[in-house]
């Protein structure tokens, strides 16, 4: 292949393009000639002419060159006009395109984030392992459902694709929902059903008739559920003399099958009942797995008494229903079948009527779906769609309003608790109560202290009295008189001896007697007693002064903490006409007469204005 020629240096046209800020290259923009004026059509192409030097230049270079006369410029198609969309217009256009492109789709997925609005609409998200899509089921279609949607339920949805304009979010508008089968559990159910049917456990020939007038019924179910309450309510209303024996058993879980089989075997062995009922409420296939087990089916087949199966709702079928002698749609229906044999025909008619109603609703649903698929008036469809979107927006606003109200109530409750705590700290009644408690404690302490001081004073007075008694002058005089008598006796004897002694010895005896002068001894004892009495009086006076000072200090402390002292500092208590204390402005009304209790006396006043603290 021939080699491409080397790139030539830019000529004058290319240099002119560089001056105008354009980059050379194949992606350069070409100059667009002005559009023709009104009434002017596009110019017709002129006759072919030989290419000039400018024709060989690149497009970007020719665009940068000065414009040649119009007759020398080739015509080019005009550029499309730019359209600016409003957000609402663009979303509405996308919604219209999507509704026209996907008017009827079937989608399979798992329900999550399910919310039921008070208006009856149901909002949820349909998801699988790779994606999620919001969906809405309006009230009119929700009323026709034969089951209750819940989170985690895999469903098959039929509807149309639309856009919720307020969020700009794609969503599914459901027209019909049906649950998807349980997979492996359903396969196991069918296998066990074929096995037991092959053994003849489902044969009508082995079914036994229920007693027309049973006296005692044994029921195997959970004692904490609503099933036993419904059964007892219906049985007691229709047959008050019927005895019901309950065998408590789990109806869901790993050990449920063993407990149900044990209950059936117990009633069969005891023979104390006329008929046996096994019952539980509705649920998914996983919830009713115990009643689909082979162990329960064998126990029902081996039972010697007639047995009624009342498991789930009318649309729920289990292995126990096929093996039992009679299947009841619900536990309440089982109670009616057992207690009202004379109404069996009427109940059968009602069951047929219910089946007819379900079939009619199904036909009506099918007809409504076919009618919805038909092309109807565009205005009616737009009105219905607009109404649905507005109801959806109203539900969203209602959810936001409820969330906001809950948050405001929580904040108000927190603030009320804080204000109540602060008010209790500043409440005069609370402070008065605290002061009273402190006064009572101080009074008790003062009484105990005074009692102790008085007891101590009494003991000391008793000791002083005993001391004074021992040092009583009369007793001392008596003792001294006795001693004096002894001295006189001794003196008389000494005088007799002295008459017989020389004078020197007489003087020595007289000097010895002078040492035992009675008057001088009495004077010394009297001075000691006087000093002791003065000391005792000073001690008692000091104790009394100290107790008086302590009592005065306690009285001053009590006075400083007294409510009257608080009022004496300029405060006042406000009372209503009924005597209740006013704690906040909201306790009074404008124009209401109140009483102001001061430290000395009271005043009457009228409320003219209320100023709450939080305003």
CA distance 114 to 154: 13
pLDDT of residue 102: 92
| DSSP single-letter state for residue 560 | H
Give bridge partners of residue 311 from the DSSP assignment: 280
Q: Which helix (H) or strand (E) holds 437?
A: helix 428-470
Mean pLDDT of 222-231: 88
Q: What is the pLDDT of residues 384-443, one digit of tens each?
A: 888 888 888 899 999 999 999 999 999 999 999 888 888 777 777 777 788 888 888 888
What is the torsion angle, in degrees rounded to the nearest 10, for the CA atoms of residue 150, residue 156, residue 160 and residue 166? Answer: 30
Distances (CA, A) of 352 to 209, 270, 341: 21, 37, 17
pLDDT of residue 124: 94
Q: In terms of residues, how long is the chain? A: 615
Q: How far is CA 94 from the centre of its chain?
A: 42
Q: How confident is the model at residue 374 (pLDDT cuts 50, 70, 90)?
A: low
Q: What is the spatial distance between Cα 273 and Cα 333, in angstroms, rounded to a whole number?
A: 19
What digits encode the pLDDT tens for the residues 204-216? 888 888 888 788 9
Is pLDDT of 341 > 80?
no
Are 108 and 157 in contact, with CB atoms under 8 Å apart?
yes
* 8 Å CB contact between 121 and 392: yes
- What's the distance, Cα to Cα, between the start and end of the chain in Å? 93
> Over pLDDT 90: what percentage of the chain?
17
pLDDT exceeds cutoff 50 at 222: yes
Burial letters 7-37, b for 16+ CB under 10 A, else e: eeeeeebbebbeeeebeeeeebeeeeeeeee
Nearest CA-CA partner of 223 in 238, 241, 242, 244 = 244
Q: In which band, very low, low, confident or very high, does the pLDDT at 22 lie, cut at 50, 70 and 90? A: very low
Helices (H), 65-137: 87-101
User: Do residues 605 and 596 make contact, with C-beta atoms less than 8 angstroms apart?
Assistant: yes
Q: Residue 407 pairs with which residues in a beta bridge?
A: none
- Say if residues 278 and 320 touch (Cβ distance below 8 Å): yes
Whether the pLDDT of residue 80 is over 80: the answer is no
Low-confidence winner among 44-53, 85-94, 454-463, 538-547 (lowest mean pLDDT)? 44-53
Find out whether 158 and 104 touch, Cβ atoms under 8 Å. yes
Burial of 320 (0-12, 13-18, 19+ CB in 10 A): buried
pLDDT(615) > 50: no
Confidence of residue 46 (pLDDT cuts 50, 70, 90): very low
Which 8-state DSSP code applies to residue 581? B
Confidence of residue 490 (pLDDT cuts 50, 70, 90): confident
H/E stretch holding 134? strand 132-137
- pLDDT at position 421, please? 81
Greater pLDDT, 16 or 135: 135
pLDDT tens-digit series, residues 525-553 = 667 767 777 777 788 778 778 878 877 77
User: What is the enclosing helix (H) or strand (E) of 513?
Assistant: helix 503-514
Burial class of residue 309 (count of CB atoms within 10 Å of its CB; 0-12, 13-18, 19+): buried
DSSP-derived secondary structure for 229-275: HHHHHHHHHH-TT-EEEEEE--SSSTTHHHHHHHHHHHHHHH---SE
- Cβ–Cβ < 8 Å for 581, 428: yes
Q: Average pLDDT of 462-489?
A: 74
Instruction: Identify which of 451, 430, 449 has the alpha carbon closest to the alpha carbon of residue 441.
Output: 449
Q: Check: CB of residue 8 under 8 Å from CB of residue 24.
A: no
At 201, the pLDDT band (50, 70, 90 cuts) reads confident
pLDDT in tens, 277-305: 999 888 777 778 888 888 899 999 989 89
- Average pLDDT, stretch 157-168? 91
SS percent in the chain: helix, strand, coil, step 5: 55, 15, 35
> Across the chain, how many H-helices and E-strands are there?
17, 13
On the question of pLDDT at 572 being above 80, the answer is yes
Q: How far apart are CA 332 and CA 310, in angstroms?
A: 8
Position with higher pLDDT, 435 vs 101: 101
Is the sign of the CA dihedral 472, 478, 482, 488 positive or negative?
A: positive
pLDDT at residue 31 greater than cutoff 60: no
């Amino acid at each position: 292949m021939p080699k491409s020629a080397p790139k030539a240096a830019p000529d004058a046209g290319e240099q002119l393009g560089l001056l105008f800020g354009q980059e050379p290259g194949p992606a350069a923009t070409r100059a667009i000639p002005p559009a023709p004026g009104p009434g002017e059509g596009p110019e017709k192409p002129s006759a072919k002419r030989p290419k000039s030097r400018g024709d060989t230049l690149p497009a970007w270079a020719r665009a940068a060159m000065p414009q040649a006369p119009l007759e020398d410029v080739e015509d080019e198609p005009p550029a499309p006009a730019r359209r600016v969309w409003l957000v609402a217009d663009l979303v509405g256009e996308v919604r219209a395109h999507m509704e026209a492109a996907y008017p009827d789709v079937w989608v399979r997925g798992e329900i999550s984030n399910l919310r039921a609005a008070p208006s009856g609409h149901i909002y949820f998200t349909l998801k699988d392992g790779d994606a999620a899509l919001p969906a809405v089921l309006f009230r009119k279609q929700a009323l026709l459902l034969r089951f209750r949607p819940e989170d985690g339920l895999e469903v098959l949805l039929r509807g149309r694709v639309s856009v919720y304009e307020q969020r700009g979010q794609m969503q599914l508008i459901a027209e019909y929902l049906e649950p998807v089968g349980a997979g492996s559990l359903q396969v196991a159910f069918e296998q066990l059903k074929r096995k037991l049917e092959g053994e003849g456990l489902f044969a009508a020939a082995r079914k036994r008739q229920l007693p027309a007038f049973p006296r005692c019924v044994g029921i195997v179910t959970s004692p904490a559920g609503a099933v036993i309450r419904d059964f007892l309510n219906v049985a007691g209303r229709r047959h008050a003399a019927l005895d019901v024996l309950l065998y408590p058993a789990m109806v869901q879980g790993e050990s449920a099958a063993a407990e149900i089989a044990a209950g059936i075997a117990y009633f069969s062995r005891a023979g104390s009942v006329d008929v046996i009922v096994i019952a539980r409420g509705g649920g998914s296939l996983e919830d009713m797995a115990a009643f689909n087990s082979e162990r329960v089916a064998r126990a029902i087949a081996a039972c010697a008494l007639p047995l009624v199966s009342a498991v789930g709702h009318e649309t729920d079928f289990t292995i126990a229903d096929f093996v039992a002698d009679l299947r009841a749609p619900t536990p309440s229906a089982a109670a009616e079948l057992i207690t009202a044999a004379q109404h069996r025909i009427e109940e059968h008619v009602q069951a047929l009527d219910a089946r007819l109603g379900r079939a009619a609703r199904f036909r009506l649903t099918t007809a409504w779906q076919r009618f919805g698929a038909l092309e109807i008036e565009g205005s009616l469809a737009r009105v219905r769609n607009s109404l649905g979107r507005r109801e959806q927006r109203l539900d969203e606003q209602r959810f936001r309003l409820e969330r906001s109200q809950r948050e405001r109530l929580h904040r108000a409750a927190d603030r009320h608790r804080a204000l109540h705590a602060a008010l209790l700290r500043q409440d005069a009644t609370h402070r008065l109560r605290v002061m009273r408690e402190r006064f009572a404690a101080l009074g008790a302490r003062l009484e105990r202290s005074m009692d102790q001081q008085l007891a101590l004073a009494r003991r000391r007075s008793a000791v002083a009295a005993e001391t004074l008694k021992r040092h009583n002058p009369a007793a001392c005089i008596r003792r001294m008189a006795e001693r004096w008598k002894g001295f006189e006796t001794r003196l008389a004897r000494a005088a007799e001896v002295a008459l017989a002694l020389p004078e020197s010895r007489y003087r020595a005896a007289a000097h010895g007697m002078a040492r035992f002068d009675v008057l001088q001894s009495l004077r010394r004892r009297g001075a000691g007693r006087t000093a002791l009495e003065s000391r005792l009086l000073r001690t008692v006076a000091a104790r009394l002064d100290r107790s008086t000072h302590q009592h005065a200090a306690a009285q001053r402390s009590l006075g400083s903490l007294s409510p009257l002292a608080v009022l004496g500092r300029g405060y006042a208590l406000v009372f209503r006409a009924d005597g209740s204390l006013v704690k906040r402005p909201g306790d009074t009304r404008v124009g209401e007469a109140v009483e102001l209790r001061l430290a000395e006396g009271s005043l009457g006043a009228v409320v003219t204005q209320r100023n709450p603290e939080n305003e």
